[in-house]
A and B are shown apart, each in its own frame.
Chain A
Amino acid sequence: MKSEGAKPEGAKPEGTKLQGMKYDILIAGVGGQGVVLASRMLALAAMKAGFRMSTAETIGMSQREGSVSSHIRIGDEIQGSLIPAGQADLLIGLEPAETIRNLPFLKKGGKIIVNSHSIPPASKPPGSPEYDPAALLTFLEAHVPGILCLDFTQLAEEAGTYRAANVAMLGAAVGTDMLPFSKEIILAVLETEIPEKHRAVNRAAFEGAIERIKLIPGHPDGEQKVKSNV
């Protein structure tokens, strides 16, 4: 991020630093996993940080357990809401197969955060390929160096509910410095966007993920983050 001229963590970006800034995030998952909420939180955070943004969400039939994705485009210029192939800076995959389905959107050298918790389709129509999540994760690791892969569903479950995996992944993204705004900004959005009765558990999942990624040995972003904090 920093190499792309984005603002430093925390502070509101200055106008001059915004010139040419563009950061495209794609969130992929299965209908019901909270892709739309995560997308809205990122868009609101981007706005709070002083950027312009546009998003495109999957709303409609696919929300019934189908493949869904949200495109979030952050920058100083408004473009069409769909990210072109090979331009996403960050892919947040809530599910292994859905992450891979959206890989062609990721740019060369783009970052991936993937939830290793798989959701097999409810039925396997004749001719549909077998779902082998382990093989898919191996494929991911082989083809995209430096992916951040964790069972975020488990992590969220430990914080109180598996449903907060989406928010936990936002925590991992900001904790590894993959977002063009600070943790504090997302936390502020979390306060306004998540209903009070679910807020504490979502905050716990968010913070839990930030803590967890610091412990990943050898993870380049994790290390970098820890070092920069020293």
Chain B
Amino acid sequence: MTEKKLLMGNEAIALGAIEAGVQVVTGYPGTPSTEALETILRYADRCGIYTEWSSNEKVALETAVGAAYSGAKVLVTMKQVGLNVASDPLMSLTYIGVKGALVLLVADDPGPHSSQTEQDTRAFGHFANIPVLDPANPQEAYELTKLAFELSHEFEIPVILRTTTRVSHSCGDVELAIAEPAAVEASCEGFTKDRRWTIFPRLTAERHPWLENVQVQLSERFSGFPYNSISGSGKIGIIASGVSALYVKEAVKGFEELFTLFRVGTVYPFPEKAALSFLKGIEKLIVIEELDPYLEEQALQLTGRAHLPVDIYGKKNGFFPVSGEYNVDIVIDGVNKVLADLGETSRISHASPAILRGELPPLPVRAPTLCAGCMHRTVFYAFKQAAKQLKKDSQIETIFSGDIGCYTLGNAYPLNMVDTCLCMGAGLSIAAGLSRTNPEVKQVAFIGDSTFFHSGIPAVVNAVYNGADVTLAILDNRTTAMTGHQPHPGIGVTALGNPSKAIDIASVVRSCGVEFVRTVETGSPENSLENSLENSLENCIEAAKEAMEFKGPSAIVFKGKCVGITKSGTRLTIDPEICTGCGFCVKQLGCPAIFLPPGEDKPVIQDSCSGCGLCAQICPSGAISEGGVKK
């Protein structure tokens, strides 16, 4: 019996995978992919699915590969930049292939909303010779997940299910074939020794023709799939995939007689036969896609090869934006440009808004910021003070390298404590490089606990090996915070909630050979001001100074608890009798709990305060103390 449920795209993918019989799921959290594995976790016990948060995407894929070699059905989840980390095993895996089935969920982030890049996984699939399915909404995400498992099993190759933010983080009513997920098969056939599992130049040479042949077979197969559909009979063709296809449908509503839409759900290998029959029926082609001109390139080479006289309008000739997230209005603008170029008289009109964007009054900038009471703010502020002192005493400047996580927000005004940030685990290596070229400048790198385990350790090894004069500040808030609080190797618990050995970060750093290693408590919301918090800032500043003065690699593990998962019973208040209205707390910290009411000069502390005590420690007149009732 089918059942309709409201599901987020990522939830739909998880349920599709369970229905397909997934037995092993691995991944590393990354927006917008995270909820897929989290949904599997909800059913893991009941359905008998081994599920883990791995230490990084490469490890996640390799773990999944071992399971798939044994005939298991496996799913690996990551965001698009995670695929870069996993690309080494993936590029080789295509030659080896799998038994069972191996599906990668890779979530792209046009915009980008929460990512470093606007890379396009469809192009990555092309590059790596891995089939890519591109759903448009949660319903399709559910169905294409099941299809991905079937294809992977039948062709013995990994398959990528590629989503974008507006698919992964969109909710919709999804028609499920099975109302409640059932237990998956408990066992698989097991690993059989065979030379096919050991990559070697000769094996690669043997397998490469097979791999190319699979692409041809898949392209052929895809041409007959209902997910590649043609609708309409207009002389102007439009080709689109993913959520862009839905924007097109909405944009051209009422103009259907003008256009023929070719929706592509299986984007790589490109369904050439279906595309050719579409191209032969049209005179002009508009390509509408976010990120890379991937479909556009497919169409260009196909029309060239087939000598079809079809003009193509897309990103390459400036009709559509080359970057950023699309929407219905962007599609309308692009299509109208093409209609004008073609000498057509009709234009698609936009809806008329209550107010145009240009008529809006100036609005305050509201950038994301560290939470009230976040331990990172204390550490950033401490290093700022330590660096200020160093500059004053010895005229030595400091460069701060950041990393990927909540603490990237240390870049924001007024902290301004991130001078470089590139990718997961890069901060310390970049600092080491900066130290070679700026010997008179101090180098400090910040890294979070989860990122440290993800890819921070090799940089520590290298700094010790090559003797870099760098300071590493490890912000250990006991969780993977930015993606919604997943456990990691330092916590002592697995994704499934089983106890595990908690790996101590300070011990790891020490065992790598770092001689200066300190552990400093930043104070947690559970501690009241009377206990350890009073001097927490001072302790952090002292430790920062010492570490920066140390010649060679030094490290401090700052310990605290993420305020997103600890409930604090304390809060601070500002005594208006003592407060001079100097605004120091507001200007220095950028804490969202400190609020300057419009038109007034004395700030107040709001209920979102978690009592970290940082503002109390910097207030020049001692006006801030614990008090007030927290609701």
Contact = CB atoms under 8 A, between A and B. Distances in A.
A85 B363 contact: no
A80 interface: yes
Contacts of A13: none
A57 interface: yes
B166 A80 contact: yes
A80 B113 contact: no
Contacts of A87: 351
Contacts of A118: 598
Contacts of A128: 364-365
B369 interface: yes
Contact of A126 (B4, B360, B413): B413
A230 interface: no
Contacts of A162: 607, 631
B257 interface: no
A66 B367 contact: yes
Contact of A121 (B171, B356, B366, B608): B366
A37 interface: no
Contact of A55 (B170, B243, B354, B359): B170
Contacts of B591: 122
User: Interface centre among B247, B327, B354, by most A CB within 10 Å?
Assistant: B354
A82 B169 contact: no
A109 B351 CA distance: 12
Contact of A57 (B169, B354, B362, B608): B169
Given A44-B6, A80-B328, A98-B366, A85 B353 contact: yes
Contacts of A85: 329, 350-351, 353, 357
B618 interface: no
Interface in A38-53: 39-40, 43-44, 47, 52-53
Contact of B113 (A61, A100, A107, A127): A61
Contacts of B166: 56, 80-82
A31 interface: yes
A28 to B, nearest CB: 11
Nearest to A87: B351
Given A79-B249, A162-B631, A64 B113 contact: no
Contacts of B139: 78
A143 interface: yes
B327 A121 contact: no
B596 interface: yes
A15 interface: no
A135 B361 contact: yes
Interface residues of A, number: 68
A126 B352 CA distance: 34
A103 B4 contact: no
A82 B324 CA distance: 14
B92 to A, nearest CB: 32
A60 interface: yes
B354 A107 contact: yes
A78 B354 contact: no
Contacts, number: 199
Contacts of A56: 166, 169-170
Contact of A32 (B249, B361, B482, B608): B608
A172 B102 CA distance: 49
A110 B413 CA distance: 36
B264 to A, nearest CB: 16
A227 interface: no
A136 B361 contact: yes
B31 A107 contact: no
A66 B354 contact: no
Nearest to A39: B171
B494 to A, nearest CB: 24
A14 to B, nearest CB: 18
A202 to B, nearest CB: 14
A61 B116 CA distance: 12
B71 interface: no
B334 to A, nearest CB: 14
A181 interface: no
A132 interface: yes
Interface in B76-109: none
A154 interface: no
B601 interface: no
B200 interface: no
User: Interface centre among B359, B360, B595, B596, by most A CB within 10 Å?
Assistant: B360
Given A44-B6, A84-B328, A123-B413, A103 B354 contact: yes
A60 B32 contact: yes
Contact of B369 (A44, A66, A86): A66
Contacts of A63: 368
B171 A55 contact: yes
Contacts of A82: 166, 247, 327-328
Nearest to B357: A104
A59 interface: yes
Contacts of B357: 85, 104
B351 A107 contact: yes
Contacts of A97: 363-364, 366
B6 A47 contact: yes
Contacts of B138: 54
B171 A57 contact: yes
B250 A84 contact: yes
A86 B31 contact: no
Given A53-B171, A85-B351, 18 more contacts: A31-B368, A40-B6, A52-B172, A54-B137, A55-B171, A55-B172, A56-B169, A65-B369, A66-B368, A80-B246, A105-B353, A120-B598, A121-B364, A121-B365, A124-B365, A125-B414, A132-B598, A134-B598
The 3 closest A-B pairs by CB, nearest first: A86-B353, A60-B114, A86-B351
26 contacts: A47-B173, A53-B172, A53-B173, A59-B31, A62-B114, A67-B366, A78-B139, A78-B246, A79-B246, A79-B249, A80-B249, A82-B327, A82-B328, A84-B328, A97-B363, A98-B366, A101-B360, A104-B355, A104-B360, A107-B352, A108-B352, A108-B354, A124-B364, A130-B364, A136-B361, A143-B354
Interface of A: 30-32, 39-40, 43-44, 47, 52-67, 78-82, 84-87, 97-98, 100-101, 103-110, 118, 120-136, 139, 143-144, 161-162
